[in-house]
Amino acid sequence: MLVGNSFVGLLMTVMSFSGLVFFFESDNRKIEELKLIFWVCMMLVSLLRLVDASYWKFKLSSTPFSPNPVIVRFAIGVFATGSLWGLYSVVLYSSMSELEVASTMVVLSAMAGGAGTVLSPKKELVIFYCTVLLVPMSYCALLDKTGNFFMLGTLGMVYWVGISLSAFRYHQFFISTLHLKERNNNLVKQMSIERSQTDKINQLLIASNEKLDESNANLEAEVERRTQELFRLSNRDPLTNLLNRNGFLKHLNDLLETTKVLQNSLAVLFIDLDGFKQVNDSLGHKIGDLVLVEIANRLRNYSEKNHLARWGGDEFVAVIPYATVDTAKAVAHAMRSGVTIPINANDNQVTLDATIGIAMCPEHGDVAVDLIQQADLTMYDQKRKQRGTVGVFNETLHAEIKREQRLCERLRSAIDNGELCLFYQPIIDVTTGHVSSIEALLRWTCDGEIISPDIFIPLAERSGLMPEIGTWVLNRALIDLSHWDFAEPLCMSVNVSITQLIDDGFVKVLDSALNSTGISPQRLYLEVTESVFANNADLVTQRLHELVERDIKISIDDFGTGYSSLHRLQSMPFDFIKIDRSFVQNTSEESDTIIRATLLMAREFRCKTIAEGIETEAQRAHLAALGSDYLQGYYYAKPMSASDFISWYNKNY
């Protein structure tokens, strides 16, 4: 049996070893030479074993002989082959790529698995051959410094143990088979006497075979079940049972191929829930999961099977085959309507909305990842403009996003490239008519183009550059102020964003700027918008008190246009309220009412008011008559460079 099975084993050894040597090439010439040496040795050993096996097979068919020499020579061949496999895997392990390591382990495992049955007549040969094939390579993988093959090494050791245990069972089965064969021979000799007993034994053998077939069938069914379970786990979201990213991308690629062949259209929808974060924050993740499951069930009503996926968090993606733009928008609005229906989750009523972006194939592209990204960007743009809406991707949006990305990249190096500068606009004391303070206004020139602060300030906020840019602005403004030698000392007003204010290093930066320029803290006004009160209120309050303790003045900018709260204002220290230009330039009675209320509030809080956006004599007179303490606007002067401001000041004062 050992000799008879050796031909197939030798063929598999030659093919597998040659595949590993010649399929995976190395740039290292020495490694290639070493591989070739191993290959030559393996081929010689295989050839000798083939000749030996052919000799014994021919001799077996002609004359009887003792089996001991056959077993000894066969064992020597097995030892030689196994040793070459083990040496090859250990010696060349460090030079193998990840794919080569995995392939080598697979080949060794397959060879070891085959040996478990072929060599079963001699269990010692099985143990040696499987050990020398699997253990060295697995040991190297377990000790690999990168840790990339730890699991592969573990599986190799487990597989070695399994094969070793199976070898004993196969050996016992082989011995039992030999005994059974001998017994059958005896029964044949006694057939005439014990015919009935022979039939009974044959029936027992048939029953055993049937049980073995049944066991094999059950094993195949279990393998199929586990295969399906692995596919489900790798392609399904465990919470909603929708497709996950991996599964959806596979399905979308198949649909795109069909769409190309049939020359049809297809729509991809990117759905983001509005208000879901508040659900998790206020009600907890358990309620949040219940809400996500309910939303998934509702969205299923508007899409075919496997056409909907949970992309991550509170984001979903859907595909609509054979859809036009109008069809896609109609489905998107229907989905949004389904989302907005109140949800009952453990006695908690939750109401959400959804913002949806749409990308079309082939109009906007035919690559799955690109279409999803375009739909995502469209959703993001819609969310910035107005939550709870539906938008369709277009080239204008694409151009805007590309421009925004380019500006964002350029903004990162704007300070180093000297593209930022400060302009200054005076703030006039209504009583004296003199300049009381000046406001520092940031300007950016990129490739000769003047970029509006309305564009680059939000970019800096979103990209996390505001603390760095804010530090530069603060230092530049105080340096310029320290260089001005006017008859009356002026104060400097600098805008501070929420990201700067809550940054742990802000106060340290501020102290450093004041110390290095020698500017008194009383001459520095920091302007914050009232929107800073909406987030991190406790930290903002603490930071403002730290500034006031240093005698720095606080001014609330754009008052009345954002987050307003009298209760919050009571806890916030501030010295000035700036009346937004939108109220100044609006001549309606409603605007005057707001201005009067702001002035009254300022007096109650014992702080001063600054009206910005003064452009005409009528506006100046009107705001002065209403009782504003300070005025600012084009009527007095436009924002100017530092040198132009010096000239303007010397000319007018």
What is the per-residue pLDDT across 53-95, written as a single tens digit (0 to 9) for each? 777 677 655 565 566 777 778 778 888 888 888 888 888 888 8
pLDDT at 330: 94
Q: What is the pLDDT of residues 3-22, one digit of tens each?
A: 556 677 778 888 888 888 88
Q: Which two tokens stand for residue 332?
A: 């998107």
- For 187, 494, 565, the CA distances from 598, given in Å and listed in that order, are 115, 22, 13
User: Using a CB cutoff of 8 Å and minimum separation of 24, what contacts does 417-422 make?
Assistant: 419/444, 419/445, 419/446, 420/444, 420/469, 420/472, 420/473, 421/445, 421/641, 422/473, 422/476, 422/477, 422/480, 422/641, 422/642
Whole-structure pTM over 0.75, yes or no? no
What mean pLDDT comes out for the span 508-525?
94
Kind of pairing between the strands at 576-579 and 353-361: unpaired
What residues form DSSP beta bridges with 231? none
Q: What is the pLDDT of residues 431-449, one digit of tens each?
A: 999 999 999 999 999 988 8
The domains found in the chain, sorted by start residue, are 2-189 (no CATH), 245-393 (3.30.70.270), 424-440+467-652 (3.20.20.450)
Task: Measure the CA–CA gap between 248 and 361, rounded to whole angstroms.
Answer: 16
What's the length of the chain? 653
Q: Which of 124-138, 178-192, 437-451, 564-578 has the highest mean pLDDT?
A: 437-451
Task: Measure the CA–CA gap between 112 and 157, rounded to whole angstroms.
Answer: 12
Within 10 A of 87 (CB to CB), how many other CB atoms are there? 14
pLDDT at 152: 83
Give the closest residue to 110 by CA, choosing from 48, 63, 70, 163: 163
Q: Are the CB atoms for 120 and 167 separated by under 8 Å?
A: yes
User: Using a CB cutoff of 8 Å and minimum separation of 24, what contacts does 308-312 make?
Assistant: 308/242, 308/243, 309/237, 309/242, 309/243, 309/244, 309/245, 309/247, 309/248, 310/237, 310/239, 310/240, 310/242, 310/243, 310/244, 311/245, 311/248, 311/270, 311/372, 312/245
Q: Are the CB atoms for 500 and 465 separated by under 8 Å?
A: no
Task: Measure the CA–CA gap between 283 and 362, rounded to whole angstroms.
Answer: 42
Half-sphere exposure of 294 (CA within 13 A, CB side): 21
Task: Measure the CA–CA gap between 185 and 84, rounded to whole angstroms.
Answer: 42
With pLDDT > 90 as the criterion, what percentage of the chain qualifies?
38
Kind of pairing between the strands at 353-361 and 266-274: antiparallel
What mean pLDDT comes out for the span 275-292?
88
Q: Which two tokens stand for residue 361?
A: 């194939």
* Residue 118 neighbours by CB under 8 Å, 6+ apart: 2, 5, 6, 8, 9
Backbone angles phi, psi at 273, to 5 degrees: -80, 135
Q: Which two tokens stand for residue 571?
A: 């806890």
User: Which comes out higher in pLDDT, residue 206 or 191?
Assistant: 206
- For 33, 96, 147, 234, the CA distances from 142, given in Å and listed in that order, are 27, 15, 7, 26
What mean pLDDT comes out for the span 499-514?
90
> Is the pLDDT at 168 greater than 80, yes or no?
no
